[in-house]
Amino acid sequence: MDATTKPLRIPPEMSVYAEENKVFDILQKMVGNLLVDRPEDPIQYLIDHLRNDNDEIPRIFLLGPPASGKHTMMWTLLLLAPQAKLVCKHLNATHLTPEDLLSNDGPLLAKEALSYRDKGQEIPNGLWAKLIQERLLKVDCKKRGWVLEGFPQTREQALMLQMTGTAPDHVVVLDAPDTVLIERNMGKRMDCSTGEVYHTTFDWPDDPEVQINLVEPEGISEEETGQRLLEYHRNIPGILRTFTKICKKINADQPCMDVFSQVLTFVLSRARTVAPHTPRVLLYGPPGCGRSLQAALLAQKYDIVNVCCGQVLKEAVADQTKLGALMKPYIESELQVPDNLVLKILARHLSRLDCATYGWVLHGFPRDTDQAGALNYAGFHPNRVFFLDIPDDAAMERVSLCVTDPVSGERYHSIYKPAPRIEVHDRLQQNPKDCEQKVQERLDIYHANAEELEEFYQDVIHVNADQDPYTVFEFIESCIVKPIPKRAPEKPMSP
């Protein structure tokens, strides 16, 4: 940073590093935890926080009425989806329930809580909060994250958890009509010898010996289920008010894998960060996909710099710069400009104050992984990469039927924007680059490099560009203003 010139210019590398490593979010999380925990040695606390490296682990509350599918083991069935176990397996998180916390071999707090239950008394909310806090401090929860199922059950419990510093990142509420829930619950049967749960309608065992051992669990009658549902409906509005910004209701009255997919999509989403964000957008696609139009729309709405590689090169030649003079023979001969010259021109352009301050949308470069690697090596890392996808026949139709009026410079299309008058139509000319043969060559180059470029940029966002341009723009815009979802681990670690 040069402190002798005004305005102060922060090198682009600093903002790229801060954004890629989430420096702002790390500091925000550390300060928040510091204020909640208030340790005696703040410096050592912050050092330990950084060593734990657990800011990205899942912290989830999974709530819902009885028989909504939170815990049922028969996960392959339509109405009995064990969302908690599926989510935990996919995220490699620790699955917790109030029953697990009250196990007989648990800590002293668990035994104290059991003493209340043995006397027929309600376990105090403060004791529940301490019990949960103590469990979440265990190594498995701190390293792998956790999904707490069926708790809190009241607003008071939710507030008590917040007061002790137990705060989830996502709250999932499974919901279904009461008639469906009562039917699910009343059909449950349990094998006393194994503890397996079956259902009279959806999962009746074939083995006659197993059928003989099945009994009706306690508390599943219509009256008892209705009473539990009534209590749930009385408490859930207060719980939802406690977690307004991180809560999502999901309809559990649908196939289990559909429910699971929606739950997983939500828990992998990131909360919108307040960190400074400089858009660095890369648009890539075949000829005719609409990159120039989308870049212009983004630049117009968000006041970022529209960087068209071809236009930047032409401007350098027109300005008669040294690099422009070196490129002029290539451009006049319609030959490809060497990558090192293109990169030097682009680097100067992207390093300008307006690009570093407001951000940029780049299109026309890179075209292959060598160019992409050179761009990254120069310090210009896009934080959003969009592939605008259209079929080859649509690309051919869009480009090969384009013509230009040499008098007015207006561009027309034989199908979508025909010439308004016959005299205009008679003088229209086609750019030699837009003939079918040239377009097919450009398509072949695109297909030869698209797969490798997608591997190079790991977080590529595919866009269906074969639709209305403003519909395409709305999708691109939504992906720019929202954080990129977290990646789930490919292979869950063994507990």
Tell me the C-alpha distance between 40 and 381, whole Å.
41
Tell me the C-alpha distance between 109 and 124, whole Å.
12
CA atoms within 13 A on the CB side of 112: 10
- Range with lowest mean pLDDT among 88-92, 351-355, 428-432, 439-443: 88-92
pTM over 0.85: no
Closest CA relative to residue 301, chosen from 361, 354, 384, 236? 361
Residue 293 has what pLDDT? 93
Helix (H, G, I), strand (E, B) or coil at 242: helix
Tell me the C-alpha distance between 480 and 274, whole Å.
14
Summarize the confidence of residues 209-236 as an average pLDDT: 83
Place of tokens 């592939």: 387
For residues 67 and 87, which has the higher predicted lDDT (pLDDT)?
A: 67
Tell me the C-alpha distance between 318 and 327, whole Å.
11
pLDDT of 86 strictly over 70: no
Alpha helices, DSSP H, located in 368-435: 369-377, 392-400, 422-426
pLDDT of 368 strictly over 80: yes
For residue range 324-335, list pLDDT tens digits in order: 888 888 877 877
Tell me the C-alpha distance between 429 and 32, whole Å.
64
For residues 260 and 454, which has the higher predicted lDDT (pLDDT)?
A: 454
Residue 308 has what pLDDT? 93
Residue 484 has what pLDDT? 64
Residue 74 has what pLDDT? 29
Summarize the confidence of residues 442-459 as an average pLDDT: 90
Residue 90 has what pLDDT? 58
Q: Report percent pLDDT > 70 for the chain.
A: 89
- Given a contact cutoff of 8 angstroms between Cβ atoms, the answer to whether 346 and 309 are in contact is yes
pLDDT of 489 strictly over 70: no
pLDDT of 280 strictly over 60: yes
Q: How confident is the model at residue 300 (pLDDT cuts 50, 70, 90)?
A: very high
Summarize the confidence of residues 174-181 as an average pLDDT: 86
pLDDT of 27 strictly over 70: yes
Cβ–Cβ contacts within 10 Å for residue 41, how many? 9
Residue 192 has what pLDDT? 76
Residue 235 has what pLDDT? 93
Q: Which CATH superfamily is domain 57-268 in?
A: P-loop containing nucleotide triphosphate hydrolases (3.40.50.300)
pLDDT of 8 strictly over 70: no
For residue range 131-159, list pLDDT tens digits in order: 998 888 888 888 888 888 889 999 999 99
Summarize the confidence of residues 425-437 as an average pLDDT: 84
Tell me the C-alpha distance between 240 and 230, whole Å.
16
Residue 159 has what pLDDT? 92
Residue 141 has what pLDDT? 86
pLDDT of 495 strictly over 50: no
Tell me the CATH class for 280-481. Answer: alpha beta
Beta strand segments in 210-302, E: 214-215, 247-251, 280-284
Summarize the confidence of residues 4-33 as an average pLDDT: 74
Residues 6+ apart with CB under 8 A from 189: 197, 198, 199, 200, 214, 215, 216, 217
For residue range 88-107, list pLDDT tens digits in order: 555 678 888 888 888 756 67
Average pLDDT, the chain: 82
pLDDT of 82 strictly over 50: no
For the chain, the domains span: 57-268, 280-481
Domain 57-268 and domain 280-481 have a common topology: yes
Residues 6+ apart with CB under 8 A from 331: 313, 314, 317, 337
pLDDT of 486 strictly over 70: no
Tell me the C-alpha distance between 446 and 460, whole Å.
16
Please compute Rg for the chain using Cα positions. 30
